[in-house]
């Protein structure tokens, strides 16, 4: 069994064939999918999806691209959603200084607020970090919360990964590990303990080789897991078993 620890089934690219996407995942051995909201509206949609599919769980929060739109009712809405049984984490939250779709100062302020909200809700966090490694680490080191969760779609270096693990986070590996030129990520995967790793698709984005050019979907996390196994010189079955156990532990999935 595999767990796709980070998908976006609530996004429009899946509106026409979501049933088939979930079925193909199950046929590929992906028994659990964690779908991650990025806005309040998408979080509601993610929760609706969890009610339709037994193996789908939800993460709720506001993505750094969208934090400019947080208003007086946003956090109350998220608090209400957090009471739903299949909500397993808060996120994805963090910083994105690559696209800067929200002002940087706003991103930093809202990141801190959402970390505190996750603590209040007693949920692990899913962290987004793109081109903001130093600022992300400053926030996480300064946070007085439980420091448990996932650094999603990891793009830092090995020392950063070790620091994240030391703080209590798992490192989630996306399909980019299969990209021909991404030797940096493959070296990190090789050197990190498997007990600290998860696998994800971030679908519909980041489709792994050999399927680049197609829309990504949870079934394709198999390719990422196979690449992790190849890099570490272990069996696919071991990667599947350990990353599944890791994901269940982080998310509290029985």
pLDDT at 181 over 90: yes
pTM assigned to the model: 0.97
Q: In this predicted structure, what is the pLDDT of residue 146? A: 87
- Kindly report whether the peptide bond that precedes residue 163 is cis, defined as omega within 30 degrees of 0: no
- The share of the chain scoring above pLDDT 90, in percent, equals 98
Q: What pLDDT was estimated at residue 221?
A: 98
* pLDDT at 195 exceeding the cut of 90: yes
Domain boundaries along the sequence of the chain: 2-251
Could you tell me the pLDDT band of residue 81, with boundaries at 50, 70 and 90? Answer: very high
Q: Please report which helix (H) or strand (E) contains residue 132, including its range.
A: none
Do residues 207 and 175 touch, judged by C-beta distance below 8 A? yes
CATH class of 2-251: alpha beta
Cβ-count burial of 128 within 10 angstroms (0-12 exposed, 13-18 middle, 19+ buried)?
buried
pLDDT in tens, 199-223: 999 999 999 999 999 999 999 999 9
Q: Is the pLDDT of residue 150 over 90?
A: yes
- Residue range 120-125: mean pLDDT, rounded: 98
Measured CA to CA, the distance from residue 172 to residue 200 in angstroms comes to 6
pLDDT for the residue numbered 191: 98
């Amino acid at each position: 069994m595999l767990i796709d620890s980070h998908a976006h089934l609530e996004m429009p690219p899946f509106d026409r064939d979501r049933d088939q996407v979930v079925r193909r995942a199950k046929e590929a051995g992906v028994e659990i999918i964690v779908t991650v909201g990025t806005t309040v509206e998408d979080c509601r949609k993610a929760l609706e999806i969890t009610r339709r599919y037994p193996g789908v769980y939800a993460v709720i929060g506001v993505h750094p691209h969208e934090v400019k739109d947080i208003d007086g009712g946003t956090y109350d809405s998220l608090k209400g959603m957090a009471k739903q049984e299949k909500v397993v984490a808060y996120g994805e939250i963090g910083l994105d200084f690559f696209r800067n779709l929200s002002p940087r100062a706003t991103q930093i302020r809202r990141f801190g607020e959402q970390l505190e909200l996750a603590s209040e809700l007693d949920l692990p966090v899913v962290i987004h970090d793109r081109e903001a490694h130093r600022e992300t680490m400053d926030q996480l080191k300064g946070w007085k919360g439980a420091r448990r969760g996932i650094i999603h779609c990891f793009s830092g270096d090995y020392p950063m990964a070790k620091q994240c693990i030391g703080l209590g986070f798992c490192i989630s590996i996306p399909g980019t590990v299969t990209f021909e030129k991404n030797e940096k990520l493959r070296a990190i995967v090789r050197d990190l303990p498997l007990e600290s790793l998860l696998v994800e698709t971030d679908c519909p984005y980041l489709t792994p080789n050999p399927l680049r050019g197609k829309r990504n979907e949870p079934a394709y996390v198999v390719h990422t897991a196979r690449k992790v196994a190849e890099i570490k010189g272990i069996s696919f079955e071991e990667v599947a078993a350990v990353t599944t156990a890791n994901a269940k532990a982080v998310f509290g999935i029985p």
